[in-house]
Amino acid sequence: MIIRRLETLTGGEREVCTPDWTSRRLLLARDGMGFSLHDTVVRAGAALAMCYAHHLEAVYCVAGEGTIHDRRTGAVHPIGPGTLYALDRHDPHVLQAHTELRLVCVFNPPVTGQEVHDARGAYPLPAGAPAAGEGHR
C-alpha cells in the first residue's frame, strides 16, 4: 500500500515547477502502478500548447476555469470543476487557464518524475517503455 500526502511533496523531488504550472507527482513509474498521478496547478493566463506523442493523459478539473482547444478540429471546450478530458488520440491541444486551474492528471505510460514539456509540447518516452496507445483506435 502506498500512502502519500500532498503537503509532503512540496519542494521535493516529486514537485516540478515551471513559470506556467506546478505539478506534484503523487505516483510515478517507480511506484509500479502502471500509470502516474499528478496534482497540477496551471497559473491564470497560461496558454499551454501540448501534444503527448508518447503518452495518453486523462485530466479531471477540481478548481478553476479555462478552455481546451483541439488543434486538429478547431473545437474549443470549456473546462471547469467536474470536467474530464481524455487525450486518447495523442491530441494536439492548447490548454488556456482563465483563472488558476487545479487538475488531477493520469499518464500512461507513467512518467519518471522530472519531465517537462519539450519543444513539441510532449514528455519524452521513458527508456524501455512502449508508447501508450500503440494500435489504439
Q: How confident is the model at residue 54 (pLDDT cuts 50, 70, 90)?
A: confident
Q: State residue 52's pLDDT score.
A: 82
Query: Which residue type is seen at 70?
Result: D
Domain boundaries, the chain: 15-108
- CA atoms within 13 A of residue 79's CA, in its CB half-sphere: 29
Beta bridge partners of 100: none
How many helices (H) and strands (E) the chain has is answered by: 0, 10
Distance of alpha carbon 37 from alpha carbon 33, whole angstroms? 10
Which of 45-54, 57-66, 76-85, 119-128 is least confident? 119-128
Q: How confident is the model at residue 116 (pLDDT cuts 50, 70, 90)?
A: low
Q: First CA to last CA across the chain, in angstroms?
A: 33
Contact 66, 79 (CB under 8 A): yes
Cell of 25: 507527482
Quote the DSSP letter at residue 133: T
Residue written as cell 497559473?
43
Q: What CATH architecture applies to the domain 15-108?
A: Sandwich (2.60)
Which of 50-59, 77-86, 117-126 is least confident? 117-126
Cell of 80: 471547469
Contact 52, 88 (CB under 8 A): no
